[in-house]
Amino acid sequence: MNPLKKLLRILLLMIAATQLAACSKTVQWEEEVPLNTGEAIWVKRTVVYSPQGGAGNPFDIAYRPERGQTIEFKWHGSDYVYAGDAGIMLLAISPQSQPVLVAQAEAGAWESIHNYRCTIPFYVQFVPDSTGQRWTWPPQIDTWLFNLETNLLLAIPTPDQPKRRFTAVERRAANLPGLVQSPERMKIDPAYTGDLCKQKG
């Protein structure tokens, strides 16, 4: 191919990629979250959708959610913000009255990206610092989390979905189709090993 044509093609691809990146769409919604304490709070969540190729076909460009998400809420007068790449499915309050977040460790290859070792059960627990803005994770989740029902929306809204506020009943109904074949997403299963850990075992 002519070097000039090759350079022109590369420039056109770069321009197209830049324009697509500028077309991202931010989706925000609120959820009513029943806590393990018997209380309920409202949580604000944010996900950014951008034009991306499909996993099996990079030319299948469509709006897909980016890896990161933001979860914001208040608890006992303090503000908490989680901004990370885990697929959070549970917000719970510890016996020490501290909010924690829980996700499946292998969802979205989180465990590979963050070098999280196989544990039983194969979930990851996020614990906030004193500011409520920075979250770390212990080597495995605490036992008090076992058998708690998940309480966050799993099927996140799309840019063209008008609904932006979900009651606990609506969230449960929206999650139900995806939970039928995935009991480990319905509650924190103490025996859950995950597919990757099964293969390593």
* pLDDT exceeds 90 at position 60: no
For the segment 165-193, the average pLDDT, to the nearest whole number, is 91
Domain borders along the chain are 24-200
Identify the residue with better confidence: 192 or 9: 192
The overall longest dimension of the chain from CA atoms, in Å, is 69
The closest of 46, 133, 136, 33 to 91, measured between CA atoms, is: 33
What tokens were used for 156? 């996140």
What element of type H or E holds 200? helix 195-200
- 10 Å CB burial of residue 122 (0-12, 13-18, 19+) is buried
- Considering 11-15, 61-65, 122-126, the range whose residues carry the highest mean pLDDT is 122-126
Start-to-end CA distance of the chain, whole Å, equals: 51
Q: How far apart are CA 53 and CA 81, in angstroms?
A: 30
Region class of 132: left (phi > 0), else alpha (psi between -120 and 50), else beta: left
Contacts of 175 (CB under 8 A, 6+ apart): 150, 153, 154, 155, 185
Q: How far apart are CA 132 and CA 99, in angstroms?
A: 9
Please provide the average confidence, as pLDDT, over all residues in the chain.
87
* pLDDT confidence tier of residue 198, bands split at 50, 70 and 90: low
The closest of 164, 137, 135 to 45, measured between CA atoms, is: 164
Q: Which pLDDT score is estimated for 183?
A: 86
Q: Which pLDDT score is estimated for 16?
A: 52
> At 133, is the secondary structure helix, strand, or coil?
coil
What backbone torsions phi and psi does residue 47 show, to the nearest 5 degrees?
-135, 140
* pLDDT exceeds 70 at position 47: yes
- CB-side exposure of 94: number of CA atoms within 13 Å? 13
Q: Which pLDDT score is estimated for 178?
A: 78
> Structure pTM?
0.83
Q: Which pLDDT score is estimated for 161?
A: 86
Q: How far apart are CA 31 and CA 22, in angstroms?
A: 28
Task: Give me the percent of the chain exceeding a pLDDT of 90.
Answer: 62
* pLDDT exceeds 60 at position 22: no
pLDDT tens figures, 119-172? 999 999 999 999 999 999 999 999 999 999 999 999 888 888 888 999 999 999
pLDDT tens figures, 76-119? 999 999 999 999 999 999 999 999 999 999 988 899 999 999 99
Q: How far apart are CA 150 and CA 127, in angstroms?
A: 17
